[in-house]
Amino acid sequence: MKPDLFQAPDYYLLDDLLTDEHKMVRDAAREWVKREVSPIIEDYAQKAEFPNQIINGLAEIGAFGPYIPEEYGGAGLDQISYGLIMQEIERGDSGVRSTASVQSSLVMYPIWKYGSEEQRVKYLPKLASGEFMGCFGLTEPDYGSNPGGMITNFKDMGDHYLLNGAKMWISNAPFADIAVVWAKDEAGRIHGLIVERGMEGFTTPETHNKWSLRASATGELIFDNVKVPKENLLPNKSGLGAPLGCLDSARYGIAWGAIGAAMDCYDTALRYSKERIQFDKPIGATQLQQKKLAEMITEITKAQLLTWRLGVLRNEGKATSAQISMAKRNNVDMALTIARDARQMLGGMGITGEYSIMRHMMNLESVVTYEGTHDIHLLITGMDVTGFAAFK
Ligand code: TGC
Ligand code: FAD
């Protein structure tokens, strides 16, 4: 793979909107990605392997629980710093950002928000340091966009719960030490349970042959009469709103992350367009290639503004789920369009692992699907503005 020459586009001088702390956190993540992720990620994606050796580094740049209070081992940062870290990591690879998103927003967040004090103290510091890795089980084979229909369930056996069912498409599952699993009680109400690797009847087979997110490990969670201790139930929130609340935090991170992938594709295509000569002039001097670049930088700038504003609203506790949904949908769609155009601009070279673009493009096909598909997010905005839930 070519050396990482990334230069971040900032067309509207948005750095002026960031505090010194934001820039420090962002620059540390950017440097780490250049040093530790860019040189190895293409090989790991080609091998379809998660690079375990980057776990400590992810913890050191604050990617595990950026906004979790320091008393629980988190970085205690604000929402814009969290977003900037996700942007930089996904600039390297969406699969690496997936690992960080799941750990922070789908495992640490529910334990922090819905867990008991004992659960927070037991799990959060180990998750923040990367000593424990976690995964989040919501999706099932027959219930993806409609998780409320889930059939995974648990029964109260007096001194423990008995968990049965299966989850599918679970990021980090093959190596996770713990899983935050969403399951129905006997009354049909959804609760979160912390299931630990090693519990009898709990297995995590890996999902193979993905063309997307190849550097991220994906698997199933199978529960065959798993005895879960009663103290592992998250006591402070139940109902579908509990897992969906975690998704708000993760979708917000993805909205920033997608900008990172888009920036990398734009920057690569811009550089290539100045160097690649056809018909005796750089392809960047042709109108059609300039149109692509002009549209890319315009869309990246709009997404940066949207996301920065959303971060301010999140910091003020005012962002709605529908606003987060809009940013996730818009920015991933934007990044996917840019990746496809940038790939074309590199001609044949665009399909090789010499450049990051094809990998980003294939990764984004998962990002546009997980955490709510593009169409489900359109319907969430549609419901928000009309009051009618068209997916029912
Ligand atoms: P609905 O009746 O609308 O809502 C049920 C309850 O949930 C509340 N709620 C939310 N709460 C917090 N945050 C949100 N975003 C919320 N959205 C809804 C709602 O107020 C209600 O509460 P209550 O108290 O009235 O009961 O639910 P529905 O069944 O009609 O479904 C709504 C729909 C379709 C929008 C929802 O199910 C949905 O978002 N579906 C998409 C599923 C999804 O995103 N799955 C993601 C799985 S995790 C994943 O992909 C991780 S990938 C990670 C990685 O690798 O990076
Ligand atoms: P379906 O729900 O079957 O949807 C199929 C199509 O139908 C989509 O285009 C959808 O938009 C459309 N559709 C569905 N309902 C409607 C409707 N009412 N109106 C119009 N169109 C509709 N899940 C987890 O719980 N944890 C994870 O860590 C996780 N990681 C993932 C990692 C990867 C690589 C992938 C690919 C997925 C991951 N997921 C995870 C699952 C992901 O959230 C689901 O794939 C996603 O929510 C969509 O569900 P589905 O695949 O079952 O598609």
Q: In angstroms, rounded to a whole number, what is the distance separating the alpha carbons of residues 347 and 378?
A: 32
Residue 169: CB within 6 Å of ligand 2? yes
Q: Within the chain, which residue ranges are assigned CATH 1.20.140.10? A: 241-386
- CA 341 to ligand 2 centroid distance, Å: 25
Residue 139: CB within 6 Å of ligand 1? yes
Mean pLDDT of the chain: 98
- CA 6 to ligand 1 centroid distance, Å: 36
In this predicted model, what pLDDT tens digit does every residue of 308-323 receive, in sequence order? 999 999 999 999 999 9
**pTM (global) more than 0.85:** yes
Over the Cα atoms of the chain, what is R_g? 21
pLDDT category of residue 2 using cuts at 50, 70 and 90 = confident
Which CATH fold topology does 241-386 show?
Butyryl-CoA Dehydrogenase, subunit A; domain 3 (1.20.140)
> How much is the pLDDT for 385?
98
Asked if residue 392 has pLDDT above 90, the reply is: no
Ligand 2 pocket: which of 373, 375, 378, 391 to mutate (most atoms within 8 A of CB): 373
Residue 142: CB within 6 Å of ligand 2? no
The percentage of the chain sitting over the pLDDT mark of 90, rounded to a whole number, equals 99
Query: Domain 14-129 classified CATH 3.30.300.30?
Result: no
| Ligand 1: nearest atom to the Cα of 391 | 34
Q: Which architecture does CATH list for 134-232?
A: Beta Barrel (2.40)
pLDDT category of residue 174 using cuts at 50, 70 and 90 = very high
Residue 222: CB within 6 Å of ligand 1? no
> How much is the pLDDT for 102?
98
Ligand 2 pocket: which of 246, 363, 376 to mutate (most atoms within 8 A of CB): 376
Q: In angstroms, rounded to a whole number, what is the distance separating the alpha carbons of residues 386 and 389?
A: 8
Q: Within the chain, which residue ranges are assigned CATH 1.10.540.10? A: 14-129
In this predicted model, what pLDDT tens digit does every residue of 203-256 receive, in sequence order? 999 999 999 999 999 999 999 999 999 999 999 999 999 999 999 999 999 999
Q: Within the chain, which residue ranges are assigned CATH 2.40.110.10? A: 134-232
